Structure 1
Amino acid sequence: MVFAERQIRAALTVLALSGLTLTTLQGTAGATAASAATASATAEPSPVASIERSTARALARSLAEPTWHKQVANAALAAEEVDLLPLTARSAAKSARDFRSTLVEAERDIAAAKGLGATDVGSLLQVRLAGKPVSESALTKTSPLVASAPADDDAGVVIAYDTAGNAHELSARKAPERPVYVIGVDGQEALAAGLEVIDKELAAKGLGTLSAAETTRSAAGTAGTAPAGSTGSAASTGFWTTRIKSISVADLKEPWFKGDAELFTLVTGFGTDGKVRVDTVTMPYVDDEDTTYYPGQILVNWSNYKYNLADAVLMEDDGDTNYSSLAKALAAALLTITDQGAYIPLVNAIIDAMPASWWSDDPDYVDSFYTLARETTGSRTGASANARMTVERYYVSAL
């Protein structure tokens, strides 16, 4: 198990930023040389990180106009995360209109870089305020800095820009003493669209259907105790599921300045046709580590599976995942696995299908649960001892 853990962590590198602090910038920004700041970042930024960085610099320049800066400040203080496209659309400031033209192009590039080009997805780029709490007056009087997440997992600094476009180094150790705007991708919007891409790709390859998401939604109907003599098949009387009563994660491997986590699960097993099946399950309610959530969410619909066993791999999207490429890689790896007449755990096949070279900011491996059975109930700890969930058998009755 130790070897497996090392293999997983080598394949899915964790973004090792524990925080953000301003080293040379306290109060008014004291510029460091742009070349030195750039040199401390990686030479090969990922596509998404590169777009975020250029957007951050463009936004920083636009904030030189006081009226627009005040509008951004008010929005950032009123909400944890602010969609930039609607915000620019509501502003009459010239710098906001100029920035919007850059933003529209960046939105298209982000969607393409994440493999969402053909998907109906809303605006993806957001801004949020990092640092200690501050009043509106103090925020608008402070010379603004705009940062984005570094592309390098091992970066010791974060690059931020001032209104002149100059680069500044922010230490990656603790929260800054002054406010900093942070540009990032709307993780929940991107994840929802990305899992739809994965579902469609896998379904086209015969490795699943869209029924997993539909099952979760439909489970709000009549559910409870199965009728006497029920076999658990997807008959007209309903079907058996495994439902999550509670779940907690010790380490979400998510830097605080990136906002809430975007957790999702790949549930795998052999479908009723004997082929490998993958169902995606999103967990938008899991925001913080060391917090127990009680979702009552369906994890496995057993009527979709041939055997009485399935695996679950929990992952967290750090923002740079290309979902189209991920789906194709999963399909290529899993199509080579055939039904041998007995259940085969599929966790390792999923992990091996995701080379770290695809991302600078990898989708983090959170934990995995091997061989969940239809009869499994009670508390289970993941193979990496990072996630813990309590599950129950749950019967969904036909309407």
Structure 2
Amino acid sequence: MLSSRPTRMAISSLTAAVVAVGLMAAPTAQAEPALSPVATVTDQLARQLASDYAADARKLLPTTADHAVNLARAPETSRLGRAVRAANRTVLSAKGLPQNGTPLLTVRLADPSMVPALRRGVAPLVASSPTDDTLTAVTAYDRAATVVQLDPNRVPDRPVYLVEVDTSAAVAMGMKVVRSTLSANGQAAQVDAAAGYWATQVTSIRLNDDKEPWHKGGAEIFAIAAGFGQDGKVKVDTAEMPYLDHDGTTYYPGQLLVHFSSYKYNLADLVLMEEDGGTNYRDLALALSQALLTIIDGGVYIPLVNAILNAIPTEWWTDDPDYVDSWYTLSTATTGTLTGAAANGTITVNPYWVQPL
């Protein structure tokens, strides 16, 4: 995940908050911020996996660091299975997602360097994957449910399993929630391909290298595009960017991110956000809808990035904000390499004609 974020009061001048990588450290005397609802669930489940349900969990825990295991694989009749299902229901609710949605809780080995120790039989710890980039310790648990504080800046010698949210699945469900809410209020962009239209194609994209901490996985990025519709109301489109996992890597997606058939002035703004595990999509959708309803088309295009950012719930800007970068006033003719307003991302774009159906 990205570890560089702006504060709410300094959107236009992003300052990198670099968090380096983790070993063990003594507990800090400084009080840690209160856990979010999702973090509370994952922390409790981490403690249970390490201690109460260790025997049941042993068959589920991966022996390599190349994949995560969905904890819903635990037998429904086992104590672990019942605990996981209850935790999943709580997480789905906390994220504003439907209760019949994909189970989101997973567990993974934190780092490939831990595999040899695991094979030697070193007893692993279990922790909840933190979303806070400013934390001073990662809380883990051993077989006796004893708290072990880990240094977030150095990879531990001891194997550590991380309980976390499947952010890829969460984004896919969350975008449906956002689109559904906006559509119900007449604010969703509607692509009309009958006559063909111009779109902005992203041919390459790169986010700054912020030296990922060991307890973070790959980022899950989604895009919000907004412009004025033919009726004068702000129209919003969303897109998943599942390939955009790591900072410091250039990706070549060829993805269409702005569809100008929806927009009156052939102009739109683009905002990239990150799913950090705690994102509540119902709150995001409602906040966007309410904020954008107040914007009036005055006959000339008004940039909408600030309106989108101001609509984001306040708690998203404390400890683990989700804003990545933004690009103002893209048009049907925009081409070339563009640095975002927060200087955290660079995209290369060109106009793309979508053939009529």
TM-score by length of 2: 0.89
| 1:203 equivalent among 175, 180, 183 | 183
Work out whether residues 12 and 365 of structure 1, in 8 Å CA contact, stay in contact via their aligned partners in 2.
Answer: no
Higher mean C-alpha displacement, 154-163 vs 249-258: 249-258
Q: Which residue of 2 aligns with 1:228?
A: none
In structure 1, distance between residues paired with 2:292 and 2:90: 30
Aligned partner of 2:72: which letter? L
In structure 1, distance between residues paired with 2:293 and 2:38: 29
Mapped pair 1:249 → 2:237: no
Shift of 1:177: 1.7
Mapped pair 1:129 → 2:94: no
Q: Which residue of 1 aligns with 2:252?
A: 294
In structure 1, distance between residues paired with 2:57 and 2:289: 47
In structure 1, distance between residues paired with 2:161 and 2:66: 13
Mapped pair 1:100 → 2:81: yes
Mapped pair 1:58 → 2:51: no
Q: Which residue of 1 aligns with 2:23?
A: 21
| 1:305 equivalent among 221, 243, 263 | 263
| 2:327 equivalent among 345, 352, 369 | 369
Shift of 1:356: 3.1
| 1:109 equivalent among 76, 86, 90 | 90
Q: 2:9 aligns to what SS in structure 1?
A: helix
Alignment of 1:18-97 (within 5 A): 18-23=20-25, 42=32, 44-62=34-52, 64-65=54-55, 68-69=57-58, 71-73=59-61, 75-77=62-64, 79-86=66-73, 88-89=74-75, 97=78
Higher mean C-alpha displacement, 352-361 vs 289-298: 352-361
In structure 1, distance between residues paired with 2:253 and 2:280: 28
Q: Which residue of 2 aligns with 1:352?
A: 310
Shift of 1:146: 0.2
Q: Which whole-Å deviations, capped at 9, do the CAs of 1:298-321 have from their partners, x for residues lacking one?
A: 011111110121100111121111
Q: Which residue of 1 aligns with 2:287?
A: 329
Q: 2:148 aligns to what SS in structure 1?
A: strand
Alignment of 1:208-223 (within 5 A): 208-209=188-189, 211=190
In structure 2, distance between residues paired with 1:315 and 1:264: 5
Shift of 1:14: 8.7
Aligned partner of 2:40: which letter? S
- Greater helix share, structure number: 1
| 1:173 equivalent among 132, 150, 153 | 153
Shift of 1:251: 4.2
Q: Which residue of 2 aligns with 1:7?
A: 9
In structure 1, distance between residues paired with 2:70 and 2:195: 44
> Percent of pairs identical after alignment?
45
Q: 2:79 aligns to what SS in structure 1?
A: helix
Work out whether residues 53 and 79 of structure 2, in 8 Å CA contact, stay in contact via their aligned partners in 1.
Answer: no
In structure 1, distance between residues paired with 2:211 and 2:303: 25
TM-score by length of 1: 0.80
Shift of 1:12: 10
Higher mean C-alpha displacement, 242-251 vs 182-191: 242-251
Aligned partner of 1:338: which letter? I
Q: Which whole-Å deviations, capped at 9, do the CAs of 1:25-77 have from their partners, x for residues lacking one?
A: xxxxxxxxxxx68x766352110110010010111115643x852x234x342
**Runs (5+) with no aligned partner, structure 2:** 1-5
In structure 1, distance between residues paired with 2:157 and 2:84: 29
How many pairs does the alignment contain? 352
Aligned partner of 2:252: which letter? Y
Shift of 1:23: 3.0
Q: 1:389 aligns to what SS in structure 2?
A: strand
Work out whether residues 283 and 313 of structure 2, in 8 Å CA contact, stay in contact via their aligned partners in 1.
Answer: no
Change (3 A) 1:189 1:345: same
Work out whether residues 207 and 247 of structure 2, in 8 Å CA contact, stay in contact via their aligned partners in 1.
Answer: yes
Shift of 1:277: 1.0
Larger Rg: 1
In structure 2, distance between residues paired with 1:6 and 1:43: 18
Change (3 A) 1:152 1:182: same
Aligned partner of 1:295: which letter? P
Work out whether residues 287 and 313 of structure 2, in 8 Å CA contact, stay in contact via their aligned partners in 1.
Answer: no
**Runs (5+) with no aligned partner, structure 1:** 25-35, 91-95, 216-233
Q: 1:23 aligns to what SS in structure 2?
A: coil
Change (3 A) 1:191 1:361: farther
Work out whether residues 320 and 360 of structure 1, in 8 Å CA contact, stay in contact via their aligned partners in 2.
Answer: no
| 1:149 equivalent among 126, 129, 132 | 129
Change (3 A) 1:192 1:140: farther
In structure 1, distance between residues paired with 2:244 and 2:133: 23
In structure 1, distance between residues paired with 2:300 and 2:121: 67
Work out whether residues 14 and 153 of structure 1, in 8 Å CA contact, stay in contact via their aligned partners in 2.
Answer: no
Shift of 1:174: 1.5
Q: 1:22 aligns to what SS in structure 2?
A: coil
Q: Which whole-Å deviations, capped at 9, do the CAs of 1:55-103 have from their partners, x for residues lacking one?
A: 10111115643x852x234x342742111112x139xxxxx92211111
In structure 2, distance between residues paired with 1:81 and 1:395: 39
Aligned partner of 1:344: which letter? I
RMSD: 2.9
